[in-house]
């Protein structure tokens, strides 16, 4: 017998239902998504909300710091967003999300989510999930009234496919890739997390082989995102760091996003992500190739071997240039 959460649900949209435009930055961890999102926010008519996937656990649950320096619960901007999204029903929405998320937002659910997105028939679990997460994006879009899109740098592939399966978001996908050896080196670095304001805590570290496996898994799944029927642009972090203006131009043109008008400053309330979002000065993009000397030779060889097929496809091996 089919479980209730697996039954397709056809949801009638009223003329007033908003389809918020979301620029989703997807990729593996430590690929430079926070820096890229900050630059895009500065140049495009799009507000960077941070990693929206983690609002529920790290924001509502743990009360981590917003980019503005306030605990999540005391940030007027986010309080306004959540009030607009769910009002007094926020606790109930959080409970619903906790209940249905295991049936929706998991890597193993991606094939099912892809089928649902193509057919336009979300299951009951995805429909319930949508009733929680979509109003948050609609509220973010309304709160950033001068912006045409919301930038979500959550990166996670399963969350991207879950958003697509809802059928209620105008998704534009930026698939960010970075050399797997640079990513592996970044995962070994110890960096304090200022958002954890009640104690001293550091970003998680991973051994190079483990980060290489995750890099391959995430990027392999993301290669199937074109099957969702939404605009997808792949960008290499190295190309972005070398010429940020050219990358911004490609994103604007390929994903149909307008440039920001002069004098329209971004809100500065991104939540979760790399600690650089707390820096007072505007982000300075630079090409970091410390991995070439800092990552031990045997580790470089191992990571290269584990990720070689995609490294070659993305133009990191041989002469072929990546990105499309």
Q: What CA–CA distance (Å, rounded) separates 48 from 41?
A: 6
- What backbone torsions phi and psi does residue 20 show, to the nearest 5 degrees? -60, 140
Mean pLDDT by 10 residues, the chain (324 residues): 41 54 97 94 94 96 95 96 97 97 98 97 98 97 87 97 98 98 95 88 94 98 97 98 97 96 77 83 84 96 98 84 40
Residue 320 has what pLDDT?
42
- How are beta strands 149-155 and 232-236 bridged, if at all? unpaired
Q: What CA–CA distance (Å, rounded) separates 183 from 92?
A: 38
Question: Is residue 138 a contact partner of residue 202, using CB atoms and an 8 Å limit?
Answer: no
CA dihedral angle for residue 31, residue 153, residue 36, residue 75, rounded to 10 degrees? -130
Q: What CA–CA distance (Å, rounded) separates 303 from 210?
A: 9
Residue 18 has what pLDDT?
67
């Amino acid at each position: 017998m089919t479980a209730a959460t697996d039954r397709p649900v056809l949801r009638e949209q009223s003329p007033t239902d908003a389809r918020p435009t979301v620029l989703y930055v997807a990729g593996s961890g430590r690929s430079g998504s926070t820096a890229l999102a900050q630059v895009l926010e500065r140049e495009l008519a799009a507000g960077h909300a941070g990693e929206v996937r983690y609002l529920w656990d790290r924001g509502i649950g743990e009360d981590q710091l917003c980019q503005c320096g306030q605990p999540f619960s005391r940030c007027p901007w986010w309080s306004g967003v959540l009030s607009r999204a769910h009002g007094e029903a926020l606790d109930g929405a959080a409970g619903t999300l906790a209940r249905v998320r295991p049936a929706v937002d998991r890597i193993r659910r991606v094939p099912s989510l892809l089928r649902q997105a193509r057919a336009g028939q979300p299951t009951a679990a995805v429909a319930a999930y949508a009733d929680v997460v979509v109003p948050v994006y609609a509220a973010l879009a309304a709160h950033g009234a001068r912006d045409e899109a919301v930038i979500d740098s959550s990166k996670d592939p399963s969350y991207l496919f879950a958003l697509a399966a809802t059928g209620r978001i105008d998704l534009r996908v930026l698939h960010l890739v970075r050399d797997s050896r640079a990513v592996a080196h970044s995962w070994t670095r110890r960096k304090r997390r200022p958002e954890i304001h009640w104690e001293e805590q550091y970003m998680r570290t991973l051994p190079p082989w483990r980060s290489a496996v995750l890099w391959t898994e995430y990027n392999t799944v993301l290669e199937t995102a074109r099957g969702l029927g939404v605009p997808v642009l792949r960008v290499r972090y190295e190309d972005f760091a070398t010429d940020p203006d050219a990358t911004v131009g490609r994103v604007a043109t390929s994903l149909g996003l307008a440039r920001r008008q002069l004098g329209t400053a971004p809100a500065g309330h991104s939540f979760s992500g790399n600690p650089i979002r707390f820096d007072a000065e505007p982000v300075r993009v630079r090409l970091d190739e410390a991995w070439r000397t800092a990552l031990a030779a045997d580790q470089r060889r191992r990571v290269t071997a584990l990720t070689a097929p995609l490294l070659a496809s993305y133009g990191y091996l041989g002469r072929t240039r990546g990105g499309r």
